[in-house]
Amino acid sequence: MKKYFLGLLATVLLLNVGYSQIKVEDYFNRGDLHNKALDYVLSNLDESKFSKNVDENVDYVNRLLIEFYAEYNLDISNSEKYKYFMVKDNFYNYLNEGAYAYKDLSNKAFKSISSLNESAGLKDNEPTYSTLLSNSLRNELIDEYELSTLNKIKELIDNNIDGLNTASEILKELNSYKDEFNSKKYAKNENAGHVLAITLAISIKSMEWWVKNENSVTYILPEPNFILASNGPNGDVILKENSLLIAPWVGLDIAGAVISGGIAASGQYVLTGSVDWGMVGWAAVGGAVSGSTGAVGRLAKLITR
């Protein structure tokens, strides 16, 4: 009996050798970089550099981002791939409709997004968010739990676009997802877990930035305007005054992280059959930052004026 238990103990120890758990906090450095990139762009922005040409404006902002990455000795050259995420209306429609959402912007923009889709095996007429997640599930880059949570995150994004939640409210939800994710104890040497951990890490840090810098994006309506916030326990309608809500679109940096991270992972998998999750994390930064720049009120207006 003693030998049996010793053998069982040895087996358990062997199974745990090399095991390391993925935690959302492992990727917080990506989120910190995202926030520093936003600060850099807003600090170095020269409004006189903007024209009435959206392609030129996107390129100008993207050059600022490349300058920032160079200062940190980071080669996030893939930021070029995601630069049109900063055109907020088209990017949101791209999530739901596919690359054709960029056809009315410019030929250069459509070709750029179409090329990005091709790298991940996405068709231009397919809804990007849901198709990318479905493909990732099929290729076992995410699992059912990640799919469910990433779809919940999409609901947060949609509600944000409709002006139904604030950065603080989104942050609270994301932190609850973080705690739940960490309790799952995903292993670092497996594919499952990384996409959601990367998304949550960048999104949490991003929402912290928006909460801290809400004066950059808060809008005040000329008159109080009330919206349906939720239904009460007895079915009664609860209204919320949205005159002080964070302006919609802050959720687009979350979408940028999901899409760029998912595309990077899918592209690597298609080419090599494996994924470098560290590189995927940096790719997710590039997409999230581009999505964020399009959410900053005055910058969004400059890009598409």
> Tens digits of per-residue pLDDT, 216-253?
554 433 344 444 444 444 444 444 444 344 455 788 98
**Mean pLDDT on 6-27:** 66
If you average pLDDT over every residue of the chain, what do you get? 84
pLDDT, one tens digit per residue, over 192-212 is 999 999 999 999 999 999 988
In the chain, what are the domain boundaries?
22-211+247-303
Percentage of the chain beyond pLDDT 90 is: 59
The more confidently predicted of residues 239 and 125 is 125
Widest CA span of the chain, in angstroms?
Answer: 81
pLDDT, one tens digit per residue, over 52-72 is 999 999 999 999 999 998 887
Q: Distance between CA 292 and CA 246 in Å, rounded?
A: 14
pLDDT, one tens digit per residue, over 147-174 is 999 999 999 999 988 888 888 999 999 9
Instruction: State the pLDDT at residue 49.
Output: 95
Assign 80 a pLDDT band (cuts: 50, 70, 90).
confident
**Mean pLDDT on 22-28:** 96
State pTM to two decimals: 0.84
Instruction: State the pLDDT at residue 224.
Output: 43
- Whether residue 65 contacts residue 37, with contact meaning beta carbons closer than 8 Å, is answered with yes
Assign 14 a pLDDT band (cuts: 50, 70, 90).
very low
pLDDT, one tens digit per residue, over 257-303 is 999 999 999 988 888 888 999 889 888 888 899 988 887 777 888 89
As a dihedral over the C-alpha atoms of residue 143, residue 28, residue 300, residue 88, rounded to 10 degrees, the angle is: 0
Q: Distance between CA 157 and CA 164 in Å, rounded?
A: 10
Residue 12 has pLDDT above 60, yes or no: no
Residue 6 has pLDDT above 80, yes or no: no
Instruction: State the pLDDT at residue 242.
Output: 42
140 Cβ contact partners less than 8 Å away, ≥ 6 residues apart: 191, 192
98 Cβ contact partners less than 8 Å away, ≥ 6 residues apart: 117, 122, 123, 124, 125, 126, 127, 128, 131
